[in-house]
């Protein structure tokens, strides 16, 4: 069995690649650069994880056209990344318009061309509190698009093993699989020392704290 794994180099997608391998899949790692601020760090993390997990391919595709659309603090350098706020009810400004449909379309083209059986994407429940393109309804709808729109769509399964899991549960799984978290990167805005306050840092630290495990990456101001 072969699977395309979307691998950003963050905590969730790195755990996902290890999980796919653990389930018996040969891993085709797909890293998509969409012009985000921390891309350089994410790419090197993804490459390292792909090597360590034994991926058969590491394919990187440039989607920096997202910069043309703007509207997101991840891709537009004039919009500051907002710190995580539990009171926020709106979609965070880190939302990139319809990003995941773009990622999944490419992943499906890739899967079809390599006769892969599955596509793994690391969307998880804390994401879809904020991002519409992480919701289970979106994933279900996309599975239907694959079935109707590709040559062998009935054979490509969209796998979202983390969709009902919390970050803490994902981390616990990853620790049991030996994921080298020192080589992963989550922070939305810094590439040397993680900021500790953006949404990605917030949820990552919360998960490590909840398990009483030390996060091996450096944070501004230490722990």
Helices (H), 124-214: 125-128, 136-149, 167-177, 199-211
Of 22 and 140, the one with the shorter C-beta distance to a copy of itself is 140
212: DSSP letter: T
CA angle 134, 180, 30 (to 5 degrees): 45
- Interface positions, 149-178, toward a copy of itself (CB under 8 A): 149-151, 153
Decide if residue 18 touches a copy of itself (CB under 8 A): no
Q: Is the separation of the CB atoms in 59 and 30 below 8 Å?
A: yes
DSSP per-residue letters across 4-56 = EEE--SSHHHHHHHHHHHHTTPEEEEEEEE-S-TTHHHHHHHHHHHHHHHT-S
- What CA–CA distance (Å, rounded) separates 84 from 70? 21
Of 77 and 151, the one with the shorter C-beta distance to a copy of itself is 151
Of 61 and 175, the one with the shorter C-beta distance to a copy of itself is 61
Of 113 and 176, the one with the shorter C-beta distance to a copy of itself is 113
Of 59 and 210, the one with the shorter C-beta distance to a copy of itself is 59
- From the list 13-21, 37-45, 67-75, 210-218, the region that binds a copy of itself by CB under 8 A is 67-75
- From the list 7-15, 42-50, 62-70, 212-220, the region that binds a copy of itself by CB under 8 A is 62-70
- What CA–CA distance (Å, rounded) separates 62 from 40? 12
- What CA–CA distance (Å, rounded) separates 95 from 198? 13
Count how many residues are written for the chain.
223
- Interface positions, 80-139, toward a copy of itself (CB under 8 A): 91, 95-102, 104-106, 108-110, 112-113, 132-133, 135, 137-138
Q: Is the separation of the CB atoms in 72 and 94 below 8 Å?
A: yes
Minimum CB–partner distance for residue 137 and a copy of itself (Å): 4
Minimum CB–partner distance for residue 211 and a copy of itself (Å): 31
Q: How many residues bind a copy of itself (CB under 8 A)?
A: 43
Grouping H, G, I as helix, E, B as strand and the rest as coil, residue 80 is coil
Which residues of this protein are in contact with a copy of itself, per CB under 8 A?
A: 59, 61-62, 65-66, 68-71, 91, 95-102, 104-106, 108-110, 112-113, 132-133, 135, 137-138, 140-142, 144-151, 153
């Amino acid at each position: 069995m072969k699977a395309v794994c979307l691998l950003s180099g963050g905590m969730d997608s790195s755990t996902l690649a290890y999980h796919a391998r653990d389930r018996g899949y040969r891993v085709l790692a797909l890293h998509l650069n969409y012009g985000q601020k921390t891309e350089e760090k994410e790419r090197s993390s993804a490459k390292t994880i792909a090597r360590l997990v034994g991926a058969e391919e590491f394919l990187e595709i440039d989607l920096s056209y997202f910069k043309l659309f703007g509207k997101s603090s991840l891709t537009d350098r004039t919009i500051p990344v907002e710190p995580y706020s539990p009171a926020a009810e709106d979609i965070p400004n880190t939302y990139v318009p319809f990003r995941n449909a773009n990622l999944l379309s490419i992943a499906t083209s890739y899967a079809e061309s390599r006769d892969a059986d599955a596509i793994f994407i690391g969307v998880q429940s804390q994401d879809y509190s904020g991002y519409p393109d992480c919701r289970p309804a979106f994933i279900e709808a996309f599975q239907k698009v694959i079935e109707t729109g590709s040559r062998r769509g009935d054979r490509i399964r969209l796998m979202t093993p983390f969709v009902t899991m919390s970050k803490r549960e994902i981390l616990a799984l990853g620790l049991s699989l030996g994921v080298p978290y020192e080589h992963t990167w989550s922070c939305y805005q810094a590439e040397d020392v993680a900021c500790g306050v953006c949404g990605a840092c917030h949820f990552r630290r919360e998960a490590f704290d909840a398990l009483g495990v030390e996060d091996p990456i450096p944070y501004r101001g230490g722990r």
